[in-house]
């Protein structure tokens, strides 16, 4: 009888421990400081700046690039950026978690529904850069790609 009590207590303690670690890891690990801005995922396409996604000139060499991810596409999926541009990239999703990785750069974000992820990147080299989704998001995950052309 006592064994049963101790066993229950042991399992209970283990569960509390695992939950604490799990919850901690979730909030610390998967919510980078850059996704503090929130957005209603269902209203992304009606909410500025995502109602008119793409590259926008701010001033001088400063640009803003707004990207919408959804199963299974990036909008827009062809982007031209002038060489030397400093681009603030904002990414959000209309549905599930997607990835936003630009091959050949340090840009690698996890895009959570309800949040806007931001990353600033200077494009100094001309060429083509592949944008990939690196989070499994469903049957069409492998089809999800886009292209940045620095000219």
* Residue 74 φ/ψ, nearest 5 degrees: -105, 140
**CB of 79 or CB of 131, closer to ligand CUA:** 131
Taking the complex as a whole, the smallest distance from the CB of residue 9 to ligand CUA amounts, in Å, to: 42
Q: Identify any residues that bridge with 108 across adjacent strands, giving them in sequence order.
A: 101
Name the pairing type of β-strands 62-70 and 54-59.
antiparallel
**CB of 79 or CB of 135, closer to ligand CUA:** 135
Taking the complex as a whole, the smallest distance from the CB of residue 65 to ligand CUA amounts, in Å, to: 18
| CB count in 10 Å sphere of residue 94 | 19
- Enter the tokens of residue 127: 């060429």
**CB of 49 or CB of 72, closer to ligand CUA:** 72
**CB of 81 or CB of 137, closer to ligand CUA:** 137
CA atoms of 42 and 63, how far apart (whole Å) = 26
Binding site for ligand CUA (CB under 6 A): 72, 98, 133, 135-137, 141, 144
**CB of 17 or CB of 136, closer to ligand CUA:** 136
| CB count in 10 Å sphere of residue 93 | 27
Taking the complex as a whole, the smallest distance from the CB of residue 117 to ligand CUA amounts, in Å, to: 14
Taking the complex as a whole, the smallest distance from the CB of residue 38 to ligand CUA amounts, in Å, to: 20
- Enter the tokens of residue 34: 């850059």
CB neighbours of 101 closer than 8 A, spacing ≥ 6?
107, 108, 109, 131, 132, 133, 134
Taking the complex as a whole, the smallest distance from the CB of residue 92 to ligand CUA amounts, in Å, to: 13
């Amino acid at each position: 009888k006592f064994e049963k009590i101790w066993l229950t207590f042991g399992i209970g303690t283990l569960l509390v421990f695992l939950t604490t670690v799990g919850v901690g890891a979730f909030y610390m690990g998967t919510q980078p400081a850059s996704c503090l801005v929130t957005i209603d995922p269902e209203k992304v396409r009606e909410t500025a700046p995502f109602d008119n996604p793409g590259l926008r000139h701010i001033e001088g060499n400063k640009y803003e690039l707004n990207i919408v991810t959804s199963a299974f596409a990036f909008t827009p999926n062809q982007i031209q950026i002038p060489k030397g541009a400093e681009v603030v990239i904002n990414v959000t999703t209309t549905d599930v978690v997607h990835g936003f990785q630009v091959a050949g750069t340090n840009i690698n974000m996890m895009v959570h529904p309800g949040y806007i992820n931001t990353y600033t990147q200077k494009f100094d080299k001309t060429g083509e850069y592949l944008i990939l989704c690196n989070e499994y998001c469903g049957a069409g995950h492998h089809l999800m790609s886009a292209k940045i052309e620095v000219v």
